[in-house]
Structure 1
């Protein structure tokens, strides 16, 4: 019965999407309640599954009782349980924010699309099959197309077309990679592929490596690494900030897929040969873009790029300490980026004028609180004390010390942190310290609705909890890192204890 609960993160959003769609036409408030209740249920399920995964052994659940590698298998381990909880917590903040601010009422079917997006994300984290990973990628992408265009507008439509085209190209490359891997191994089940890849003759290893590296390129596209990053700034800055906050987890889906597949398929750090320089280049581009940004949406989008690149820098080292550091930094960068997007949404709403331009405005109600919230988001994104980003960056720098690229990694991380500090300090000064001589705004547009700030406060509380619990959280991440690199253990859990021997 406990193993069957592994399917709950897929069933809950599927049923909630249908129910909220039925309610939406006549009772919109009921649809929103269903959506929020569903996400709260996902949090409970994710906590139970994380407790189950903490035993240290991966658990395979065969849908329809068809055993791997012949049937569809969901695999729960420490990494997938962590990602499920992270998605559910972020989903709760976004769902409540969209409901309280009325973002969900600016277009049709926000909550059904939102739930299908969560379905695709959760499926990507649980599947043990590369083809089903592709299917769940398509589910989350199709839902994201609708969410990205939610609220309409010419700028949003233009950015949406670019977003769709880029992801279609990514999907084609994904299918080509799957074709190569299936042609050389005869399977798409990840555990079975790991067994067959280890037994391949030397003449076929080139094709295996080509397929694996092409798969890594696809995941790098999802994570917006240089040179396949150009879609993200325009897309995230054009869409509603609440939607962009949810999209903060989508770049992490790419990072997750790299951690999940590369140790199994390539069995070494082969993907690091291009991931590390790409991540370092993306980090530079992201924080320089933040410094040059003149709009709040552009600033947050480039901050997300730079922060995600910091995460990918650690992952690209492909060793135990680096992966543990990356895993600690992963929830931090997701929550801090989402916090910045939600804060931007409140700034645009509460100050009443200038839309998202980074310019001084007259004083308005709630400005002092928003200034504090913006400061907290900036401190978090930059990795400054006292929040968890400081611990995460220290862990990443420490993990990079044995690497031959230590000097480059340390230099880029520290320099980009300084660039980001200058950019966010300048933006904060313009937004909260300077004001025009115009009398304070008193129109309804600038009225602060304090309930709208609750989701951002919730994310800030999560960052504080991540900081306060750094000890046990780091221990969990170290165990998760060891499990990721234990390919034999994963294979044995999915195919049986004898299958993982002698690889």
Structure 2
């Protein structure tokens, strides 16, 4: 067993606990521990990405207790990719928070590390109950992070967020209990084996548990009609928290992809393809209505929150199609959407600080102190997030559209192209209000923090880099998609671990 599989979970957990104990220490020490942890996490994620791409599926049984009795971690190309995306994002969020946002409330760095532990654990776990445990870890940390900086808007958003996720957690336990009552196991690979052989009433009970679980994952992913908590929560959060939350919806989508291919995939017998048609409809509705929400947004951060929902719908569409080409396309698009939208949240914060009390609201305000620099960066980022050439958003959408055939093609093409046009109009409106229509500069404007701007710009630079290095990235996502759909490889990896 490779003990490095434990590091993405243990490292942030230990550092989070250490930061809690050193909360009264000099801020420089706290920042040093947090930054070092994020950088080490990135190094570990890159190592695991290389390991996953060059070896078979890795299974780690904690305490040497084999499944289904022990806790099992599973590393494949998909989980390694998600760890890497999260680690890169964590580094930029940590560095940006060092510019002062981490002092707007207590325990920011400790909560950041705990949330990273929960996110990484959700990507690595091979057990349904432990997926619930890691969901709770990341959610509890996210509750406090959403309140970071306080204020009535954050308190209201956090209250709705907490209530909805508590309901989701209750439903998760009911679904897990139903799975265990029928199958006698919560190990995902064992569940896949059992579902494939289920007959009679067992199939209906398993499908009911699966549908309930998809509902819970849908709440985490925030697709329609379970999306209403997200715009307010993301728009009210501080910039580093909103940027970190760019990966949060991907955790729910990851869980849907994992379960729809492993447990209810092509080899699941009578339960195969659970909810595919419904997911397809919800994906198209999410893309269309979220684009309208972005068009009607009254602030830049609200617009970006709705663009997060557009990306959720796009990713869900690929999951609903379920082909190897579609999954490979959305994995590429997932990298793009996570990093670019996170970078835009950071850039929006820099812009808001130069507009005084108006912040990022779409009202005619003071002239920015650095309009050309910020306007040029916003223009390029808007092209990338809208999916226009020559950046990665365009390439990701093209790959997805090419993967769809038959009657579904015209539906996806129509929705994606029209919503893209609406998004371009909304972003153009935002740019004109923020950079062209203005009056004299305000005295409350903050000068440009060059370091903060460089951090945001470097994160946005990921879009052209994903185009420059498109071939190796797409090769990896294609291999990951092929591995995800090969259920037998997971069964063999688990059997090999049991034999050891």
Q: CA RMSD in A?
A: 1.5
Q: Deviations over 1:256-301 (max 9, x none)?
A: 1111112222123323121111111111111101100111221111
What does residue 6 of structure 1 align with? 5
Alignment partner of 1:41 is 2:34: no
Say which is worse superposed, 489-498 or 29-38, in terms of deviation. Answer: 489-498
Residues 271-350 of structure 1: pairs in structure 2 closer than 5 A: 271-350=275-354
Among candidates 168, 171, 174, match of residue 172 of structure 2: 174
C-alpha deviation, 1:70, in angstroms: 1.4
State the partner residue of 1:237. 235
- On the 8 A contact 2:183/2:191 being kept in 1, the answer is yes
Query: Which residues in structure 2 correspond to 1:198-277 (within 5 Å)?
Result: 198-267=196-265, 268-277=272-281
Contact 1:75 1:494 in 2 (8 A): no
Once superposed, which parts of structure 1, at least 4 consecutive aligned residues long, lie more than 3 Å away? none
C-alpha deviations, 1:391-440, integer Å up to 9, x for none? 0000010011x24311111100000000000000011011012222x2x3
Give runs of aligned pairs for residues 52-451 of structure 1, distance below 5 A: 52-100=51-99, 102-267=100-265, 268-400=272-404, 402-436=405-439, 438=440, 440-441=441-442, 443=443, 445-451=445-451
- The TM-score, its normalising length taken from structure 2, stands at 0.96
Q: CA deviation at 1:204?
A: 1.2
Structure 2: which 5+ runs fail to align? Answer: 266-271
Residue 487 of structure 1 corresponds to 487
Q: CA deviation at 1:444?
A: 6.3
Equivalent pairs counted in the alignment come to 493
What is the DSSP-based 3-state SS (H/G/I as helix, E as strand, rest coil) of the residue aligned with 1:472? helix
SS of the aligned residue for 1:357 comes to coil
Structure 1: give runs of 5+ residues left out of the alignment: none
Task: Give the whole-Å Cα distance in 2 for the aligned partners of 1:168 and 1:348.
Answer: 33
Kept in 2, the 8 Å contact 1:492–1:498? The answer is no
Q: Secondary structure at the match of 2:106?
A: coil
Measured in 1, the distance between the counterparts of 2:445 and 2:494 equals 56
Give me the whole-angstrom Cα distance separating, in 1, the residues matched to 2:498 and 2:117. 33
For 2:383 and 2:273, how far apart are their aligned partners in 1?
Answer: 32
User: Contact between 2:66 and 2:498, CA under 8 Å: does it hold in 1?
Assistant: no
Q: Tell me how far 1:341 sits from its aligned partner.
A: 0.7
- Distance in 2 between residues matched to 1:386 and 1:360, nearest whole Å: 31
Secondary structure at the aligned position of 1:496 is classed as helix
Contact 1:269 1:317 in 2 (8 A): no
Q: How many Å apart are 1:346 and its aligned residue?
A: 0.6
Compare 19-28 and 129-138 and name the one that shifted more. Answer: 19-28
Cα deviation 1:437-464 (Å, max 9, x = unaligned): x2x34x4642111111122122122222
Corresponding position: 1:468 with 2:468:
yes
CA separation of 1:42 and 1:497: change in aligned 2, threshold 3 A = closer
**Which deviates further from its counterpart, 347-356 or 425-434?**
347-356
Q: Distance between the aligned counterparts of 1:283 and 1:106, measured in 2?
A: 34
Residue 268 of structure 2 corresponds to: none
